[in-house]
Structure 1
């Protein structure tokens, strides 16, 4: 079962995703995409790791900032025959997107950074394909960034647009798409309006 979980900052989406994983399997694989660039991020990462360890749930944490598609394919191959597959939780895909955008910067052009769009879209397509092919319990945490103000700088606008495209593609291949608002998960697909075919 593939589940996309989105929401704003501090909406409760990660906590909900971890609780959902505990309902789906007796053990979990936590794929952390963040990179600790400074002391604050290192402290935050360590706090989350300790919280998972103290939860009493059997988490295996794998730090993978880039090759999430390849990791999902490997986990699919390794666990497909298991009697009880682990719940795999990827947290979070907007950080994964940020990692790739920063890696694929082409440098400065007229004062603004450019992104290698073809390579970025290839990475997104690889991820979507790996998610679509994953047959065990899979929870994907992402951020909803399109509801706020328009960023004042080009890279921020590009990130917002690419995150929206990524979320749409992933929602299309997931059985559930949940929006967490103020700690309350809302099932988007259950309430989705369907246009009638002409």
Structure 2
């Protein structure tokens, strides 16, 4: 793999995670960073997690966290972040943004810190993220804010990436 920082974008269930796993499959050791939580309170989510785990090589390590900056700043094996969309959602939860939408600047600071760490990492890293901005404008302010922050996050990471890919219906295309 020649690219150090790769971002894979696409819609829900488009094949982004499979494309990311495929890019790192030949690496002897990979740190898979799951940002979506453990699924203990949601059986359907737990099934999704189990399917992802079953696909990955047994040699890959796992970190379940949204604390990405220290991982990006540390030396180590290639890293797959799945996914930035869940990172944003959980970051908004952690900062209690849903109850006070006027505090969006706190999330924007987190986005800036993540993007800067992405740009300076010495690891080979592949991140997956949803493109949620191509649909209908959401009716409520919280969902609109999430969509807008997701677009800002994807743009910030994309502009600092060596390669950006778009996945649709299981097909992956380079964006230039």
Structure 1 residue corresponding to 2:80, chosen from 86, 89, 106: 89
TM-score (norm 1): 0.80
Structure 1 residue corresponding to 2:115, chosen from 103, 128, 147: 128
* Matched residue, 2:70: 70
Describe the superposition over 1:36-83 as per-residue Cα deviations: whole angstroms up to 9, x where unpaired.
24221122212322332xxx462111100x211122213x2xx3xxxx
Structure 1 residue corresponding to 2:91, chosen from 90, 96, 100: 100
The answer for unaligned runs of 5 or more in structure 1 is 80-85, 190-198
Describe the superposition over 1:141-196 as per-residue Cα deviations: whole angstroms up to 9, x where unpaired.
0001111111121111111100001000001110001101111111102xxxxxxx
Which SS does the other structure have where 1:116 is aligned?
Answer: helix
Which SS does the other structure have where 2:61 is aligned?
Answer: strand
The answer for unaligned runs of 5 or more in structure 2 is none
Contact 1:101 1:115 in 2 (8 A): no
> How large is the Cα RMSD of the aligned pairs?
1.6
TM-score (norm 2): 0.90
Structure 1 residue corresponding to 2:45, chosen from 38, 41, 44: 41
Contact 1:179 1:187 in 2 (8 A): yes
Bigger CA radius of gyration: 1
* Matched residue, 1:188: 175
* Matched residue, 1:30: 32
* Matched residue, 1:18: 21
